[in-house]
Structure 1
Amino acid sequence: MNNSNAKSRIHRMCAAGNFNEDELYEKAKLMLESYRDVCWTTVDFVSEVREECELYEKEYYCSSDMETALIYLETFAPEEGKDRFEEKVHSLFETKWMVEIVDSAMLKVKECPINGELYFSMLSAYYLNRFEYTEREMMDEFNMERSTYYRRKKEAVIIFGLALWGSSIKDLRDELAI
């Protein structure tokens, strides 16, 4: 899809959802920039909580599966240091909630009729993967000139914002009847 067509469709989607495009871009970019750090530090945090669990239990019950580990941590309540433990577990669940919302929005980006696969790949490579690509590596990876790359990346971030604030958060609110 050519740039003007994609850009005009994104403008229309923002207008239809009553979103300020620049504000949406900034909020979505901030969320994406924090995702990698939150996601990968959580792995370390889960390990720390598991080690603390082992201090109270001789057997190791947590599997390497995050879901199983979180269920275990939710139901495990050591008598010693219970408040501190609950605070850590609560933090893990908040992080898991953030990761699930971002993942849900990313799936919607991928389904977008406007360059969805491209936007999904660009966002995943630049913001979500553990390895951080440089701008040059990204341009090489996607075989794009600098100006095209920056336009597509901005479009991808806006589409992510639309997927996140236009539906994921709203869907979650509706589910929880907030």
Structure 2
Amino acid sequence: MFRIEKNLVDIDYEMYAEEGKHLKEMLYDLVDFDATAEKRRIQEKLLNNDMNLCLLEIMRDSLIALRDYPKNGQLYYRLLKYRYFEAGNTNEDVMLMLDDMPSTTYYRNRKKAIRLYATMLWAFTRPEKIQNKMEEINWKKSGSKVAVN
């Protein structure tokens, strides 16, 4: 997930460095020559891409909020990050060795971590939070705030 986002951001930076335009602007320039229906289809894909980036950022923000949770936050963060969010997805045997804990404790803590992460996601996915995150993404891309429909 995060690899895809990183690749898109890298491509955007390269395009801006070489052409002086962000990836989204370049794509809009490409669709200007095509029919309205095709343009609308590509714009919808771009909007979906922005929504996917927004959701990835919400997932990352939720994971960071989990890390900062007062009771066992660091442990829960490690359990979820290395198991589900890192490239290579560390398997459970390696996780048990890394944290040096019995398997029953590992599974109990993982279950608590998943529940707490779900709560954090729920808090971060309120409609106004998503709207703010979409505006933030558009602002980062264009340099100014753009209304999101």
Same fold (TM over 0.5): yes
The answer to whether the aligner puts 1:104 opposite 2:54 as a matched pair is no
State the superposition RMSD in angstroms: 2.8
Deviation per CA, 1:110-161, whole angstroms, max 9, x where unpaired? 1111100111111110010011111111111111111010001001111111
Q: Which moved more, 1:83-92 or 1:130-139?
A: 83-92
Per the alignment, residue 148 of structure 1 pairs with 105
Rate the CA distance shift 1:63–1:41 in 2: closer, same or farther, 3 A. closer
Aligned residue in 2 for 1:31: none
Q: Report the residue type matching 2:97 in the other structure.
A: D
Counting matched residue pairs gives 119
Does the Cα contact within 8 Å between 1:42 and 1:92 map onto a contact in 2? Answer: no
The match for 1:92 is: 49
Q: Distance in 2 between matches of 1:174 and 1:41?
A: 22
User: Is residue 168 from structure 1 mapped to residue 94 from structure 2 by the alignment?
Assistant: no
Residue 73 of structure 1: CA displacement? 3.2
3-state DSSP of counterpart to 1:105: helix
Show structure 2 runs of 5+ residues with no match: 16-20, 134-149
Q: Which runs of 5+ in 1 are unaligned?
A: 1-35, 51-61, 66-70
2:28 corresponds to 1:72: no
Q: 1:133 to 1:64 in 2, by over 3 A?
A: farther
Asked whether the 8 Å contact 1:101–1:164 carries over to 2, the reply is yes
Q: TM-score of the superposition, structure 2-length normalised? A: 0.67
Distance 1:92 1:173 in 2: 14
- Aligned partner of 1:12 in structure 2 is none
What TM-score do the two structures reach when normalised by structure 1? 0.57
Higher relative contact order (CA 8 A, sep 6+): 1
How far does residue 42 in structure 1 lie from its aligned partner after superposition?
Answer: 5.0
Alignment partner of 1:136 is 2:93: yes
Contact kept, 8 Å, 2:54 with 2:130, in 1: the verdict is no
> What is the DSSP-based 3-state SS (H/G/I as helix, E as strand, rest coil) of the residue aligned with 2:125?
helix
Change (3 A) 1:86 1:174: closer
Name the structure 2 match of 1:16.
none
After superposing on structure 2, the runs of 4+ consecutive aligned residues of structure 1 that deviate more than 6 Å are none
